[in-house]
Amino acid sequence: MTEAVRRPRQMATNVPTELLRSFIAIVDAGSMAQATETILLSQSALSLQMKRLEDLLEQRLFHRSGRSLMLTGAGEELAVLARQMLGLNDRIVAALGRGDTAQPLQLGLVQDFADTVLPGVLRAFAGRYPATRLQLRVGGSAELLELFDRGKLDLALCLGRHGDLRRSTSTIIADVAMRWIGDPVLADAEELHLVLLDQPCAFRTALLEVLEEHRRPYRIVLETPTLPGLKAALRAGIGLTCRTAGYAKSERLAMPAARSLPALPRIDHVLHRRNPSTGATDTLAGLLEAALAATGENGA
Residue-level pLDDT at 11: 59
pLDDT digits (tens, 9 = 90+) for 50-73: 999 999 999 999 988 777 788 999
Instruction: Provide the mean pLDDT of the chain.
Output: 82
| Relative orientation angle of helices 17-29 and 43-57, to the nearest 10 degrees | 120
Q: How many CA atoms lie within 13 A of 202 on its CB side?
A: 25
Q: Does the structural domain 17-96 have CATH classification 1.10.10.10?
A: yes
Fold assignment, 100-300: D-Maltodextrin-Binding Protein; domain 2 (3.40.190)
β-pair type (155-160, 105-109): parallel
pLDDT of residue 100: 44
pLDDT band at residue 162, thresholds of 50, 70 and 90? very low
The CA angle 21-23-29, to the nearest 5 degrees, is 100
pLDDT at 198 > cutoff 80: yes
Task: Report the half-sphere exposure of 297 (CA within 13 A, side-chain side).
Answer: 31
Phi, psi of 124 (to 5 degrees): -65, -40
Q: Say which range, 78-87, 116-125, 286-295, has the weakest mean pLDDT.
A: 286-295
pTM of the predicted model over 0.85: no
d(CA 77, CA 121): 37
Tell me whether strands 170-181 and 266-273 are parallel, antiparallel or unpaired. antiparallel
**Per-residue confidence (pLDDT) for residue 236, from 0 to 100:** 92
All CATH 3.40.190.290 domain ranges in the chain, comma separated? 100-300
The amino acid sitting at 75 is: G
Task: Return the higher-pLDDT residue of 12 and 288.
Answer: 288
In Å, how far are 82, 130, 195, 260 from 114, measured between CA atoms?
A: 34, 21, 21, 31
Express the helix, strand and coil content of the chain in percent, nearest 5 each.
Answer: 45, 20, 35
Report, as an integer, the average pLDDT of 257-268: 84
Q: With cut-offs at 50, 70 and 90, classify the pLDDT of residue 126.
A: confident
Cα(170)–Cα(164) distance, rounded to whole angstroms?
A: 9
Residues forming CATH 1.10.10.10 domain(s) in the chain: 17-96
